[in-house]
Chain A
């Protein structure tokens, strides 16, 4: 079944760029240029995800979002904004957005976040909390916080474990550096240096050293993906 995404964006060029990119990624996309139309379309309830610009003519993006929520539509929402300071991001998240992305953004970052939001909806609809995750030959025991690969246990530090758990929950998807900073460390600023890369590098060494196939892949220009070697 094709996923449907509603893009509410008043800048025609950005809207076209989003529509094209998301369509290529296999989604069915509908776009509109202002908050009023966005609210109207969204209230049909047929969309799996809403991507909305924060500053829209008519109704402001965040106001539109709260109106949509008030109408009982629970589709996850990703807010795009040219306001990029820490406080703007936090405000956006508090206002009911499920994720927040600053303009200009790389398409890789956007699609990673879109995929993560889609996946989250799927998980919440499938019943029960998983107690273990398997990614190829990697097995993660979520209750005992134990990790093993090909039956061999791998000792991880607390932070390494939380990075792996986050990657495993998004197994097969691209996870960007900023997503990890936000979700694992709860920092909404850009630390500048390659801190995330170093953490992931260490985790990768532990996961892959002594095994013949890679499992934690670097996706150039975007981030990382935990998946069995193709």
Chain B
């Protein structure tokens, strides 16, 4: 059976209260018990000595007189008897036959004194001394002490009741308190899942208790979620915005094609349509690649020589660069060891940089590719003599869909440098944009 949190807490509190009150009752009981026994022992020992000395000074007649004088008809707990050797009562008050067998002298002991009438089953504290041929037994039943015990039993009952009451009260108070603080957190979580990302849990104890620590952690998590949602929103907004222009061009081409009168114009419009479609596909693939590389493991890395990667790319691009009436130079530092890289993605990133240089640096000038070991590790640099990028604009140039004003008239989606940056990050490095005086020097830095 599953108890509710409140009930379990109440049971725990009741148990704890019971343990603590019962422990104290037991201690008190024990203390009183010992005190009562000590008093009884004192009285008994004293009384026994009194009667023994009466016997010594006056013999049996004096003892009988003293016993008769000490008898009190109202006192039914007193034991004051002379027993024969077999324990039978000869005179005085006490059990007809003493239960203590064989009789022996004892200054004080606690036992059941006899089995007859009111003595049965009742403990008494008594002393036994030898008086001539007989034994003198003096003592008292434990009635006084029993009275106290009964009182203590009442106290125990009362304290159990008290423990239950305080337990339930504690359970209620604690669950109410815990519930209130947890509810506050639940409310915030609910509000956030409902879309209100600004709500936060306030701290009560200044960050010192567990609830506050939970609240602080939760708030930090919510901050992060809010930031991520914000970023996601920004990306989807810009995606929607940036998809709009190629889609508009696509639509225009399709319209041209459907309205074209002669076959030639229709053909031209249709091939334009294909070009636009391809560009959009490329853009989506690049976006996917950027997203992927942010979450990719290093299991696809292969050992490759930095120089070889650059040489292969140079070989691919050399004719294109030449066609753009630019000169391509390649500078590979000697003794670069092979390193673990994602060959395809790194090549694609470098290709993007070369492509950028071809598009933005225009005709003329030199396109310098180099790889060297330097600040931060191995540095793959692509440097052109174009207009460069203003330091203030560099961050915008790397951002997804970030397009500088002067590039807006040219085709492109503003993803090139963003992919390069993502690839550099995949390798644990970064992309550096610097002034080539004049021109742009883009460097992919990968820790060696």
Contacts and interface: CB of A to CB of B under 8 A. Distances in A.
A189 B320 contact: no
A125 interface: no
Contacts of B345: 86, 189
B300 A192 contact: no
Contact of B282 (A86, A190, A195): A190
A193 B355 contact: yes
B10 to A, nearest CB: 56
Interface in A81-111: 84-87, 90, 102, 104, 106
B296 A87 contact: yes
Interface string B10-51: 000000000000000000000000000000000000000000
Nearest to A103: B281
18 contacts: A84-B285, A85-B288, A86-B344, A87-B296, A87-B300, A104-B277, A159-B315, A185-B312, A187-B344, A189-B351, A190-B285, A192-B352, A195-B316, A195-B317, A195-B319, A199-B319, A201-B319, A220-B271
A194 interface: yes
A149 interface: no
Contacts of B271: 220-221
B98 interface: no
Nearest to A90: B344
B323 interface: yes
A202 B319 contact: yes
Interface in B342-387: 344-345, 347-348, 351-352, 355, 358-359
B325 to A, nearest CB: 13
A26 interface: no
Interface residues of A, number: 25
Contacts of A185: 312, 316
Give chain B's interface secondary structure class.
helix
Interface string A106-126: 100000000000000000000
Give chain A's interface secondary structure class.
loop
Contacts of B359: 193
Contacts, number: 65
A201 B319 CA distance: 10
A25 interface: no
B213 interface: no
Interface in A156-215: 159, 185, 187-195, 198-199, 201-202
A87 B355 CA distance: 22
A198 B320 CA distance: 6
Q: Which 7 A-B pairs have the closest CB atoms?
A: A189-B348, A86-B344, A198-B319, A84-B285, A198-B320, A191-B351, A85-B289
Contact of A87 (B284, B292, B351): B292
Contacts of A192: 282, 351-352, 355
A70 to B, nearest CB: 25
A49 B226 CA distance: 51
A202 B320 CA distance: 10
Nearest to A189: B348
Interface of A: 84-87, 90, 102, 104, 106, 159, 185, 187-195, 198-199, 201-202, 220-221
A194 B320 contact: yes
B285 A191 contact: no
Interface in B301-352: 312, 315-317, 319-320, 323, 344-345, 347-348, 351-352
Residue among A185, A187, A189, A190 with the highest chain B CB neighbour number at 10 A: A189
Nearest to A83: B288
A191 B282 contact: no
Nearest to B280: A104
B344 A189 contact: yes
Nearest to B282: A190
A188 B320 contact: no
A85 B361 CA distance: 28
A195 B300 CA distance: 26
Residue among B300, B312, B347, B358 with the highest chain A CB neighbour number at 10 A: B347
A42 to B, nearest CB: 30
A198 B323 CA distance: 8
A102 B285 CA distance: 10
A194 to B, nearest CB: 7
Contacts of A104: 277, 281
A132 to B, nearest CB: 26
A194 B315 CA distance: 14
B260 interface: no
A99 B317 CA distance: 25
A104 B292 CA distance: 20
Nearest to A160: B319
A106 B274 contact: yes
Contact of A84 (B288, B323, B344, B348): B288
